[in-house]
Chain A
Amino acid sequence: MSILVDATGLSCPQPVLLTMNKIKEMQHGQMMIQVDTDTSKENVSRAAQSQGWEVTNVQENDIGYQLTIKKDA
Chain B
Amino acid sequence: MNKNYFSTRWGIIGVGAFIGVIAALLQKLGNPGNMGICVACFERDIAGAIGLHRAGVVQYMRPEIIGFVLGSLVAAYLFKEFRPRTGSAPIVRFVLGVFAMIGALVFLGCPWRALLRFAAGDANAIFGLLGLTGGIWIGTLFLKGGYNLGRAQKTYTSVGWLLPLTMIGFLALMLIFPQVKGEPKSGILFYSMKGPGMIHAPLLISLMVGLGIGFLAQRSRFCTMGAFRDLILFRQAHLFTGLLALVVFAFITNLALGQFHPGVAGQPVAHTMQIWNFGGMVLSGLAFALAGGCPGRQLFLAGEGDGDAAIFVMGMIVGAGFAHNFGLASSPKGVGPHGIAALVIGLLVCVFIGFTMRKK
Contacts and interface: CB of A to CB of B under 8 A. Distances in A.
Nearest to B226: A12
Contacts of B238: 46
A9 B226 contact: no
B1 interface: yes
Given A47-B234, A50-B234, A50-B236, A13 B85 contact: no
A38 B143 contact: no
A4 interface: no
A9 B4 contact: no
A27 interface: no
Query: Which interface class (under 10, 10 to 19, 20 to 34, 35 or more) fits B?
Result: 20 to 34
Nearest to A18: B148
B149 A11 contact: yes
A20 B88 contact: no
B173 interface: no
B83 interface: yes
Specify which of B1, B149, B151, B223 lies most central, judged by the most chain A CB atoms within 10 Å of its CB.
B151
B7 A42 contact: yes
B286 to A, nearest CB: 15
B83 A13 contact: no
Nearest to A62: B154
Interface in A29-64: 36-39, 42-43, 46-47, 50, 58, 64
Interface of B: 1, 4, 7, 79, 81, 83, 85, 88, 143, 148-154, 221, 223, 226, 229-230, 233-234, 236, 238, 292-293, 306, 308
Contacts of B236: 46-47, 50
B102 to A, nearest CB: 22
B153 A37 contact: no
A38 B221 CA distance: 10
A10 interface: yes
B152 to A, nearest CB: 4
Interface of A: 8-14, 16-17, 20, 36-39, 42-43, 46-47, 50, 58, 64
Given A37-B81, A39-B221, A50-B236, 17 more contacts: A9-B151, A9-B153, A10-B88, A10-B151, A11-B292, A11-B293, A11-B308, A13-B230, A14-B148, A17-B143, A36-B85, A36-B154, A38-B81, A42-B4, A42-B221, A46-B236, A47-B236
Contact of A12 (B4, B150, B151, B292): B292
Contacts of B4: 38, 42
Contact of A37 (B83, B230, B234, B292): B83
A11 B334 CA distance: 36
Nearest to B309: A11
Contacts of B153: 9
A60 B148 CA distance: 26
Contacts of B223: 12
B229 A9 contact: no
A56 to B, nearest CB: 13
Nearest to A42: B7
A9 to B, nearest CB: 3
Contacts of A16: 234
Contacts of A11: 88, 149, 152, 292-293, 306, 308
Contacts of A36: 83, 85, 154
Contacts of A14: 148
A58 B2 CA distance: 11
Contacts of B226: 12-13
Contacts of A37: 81, 83
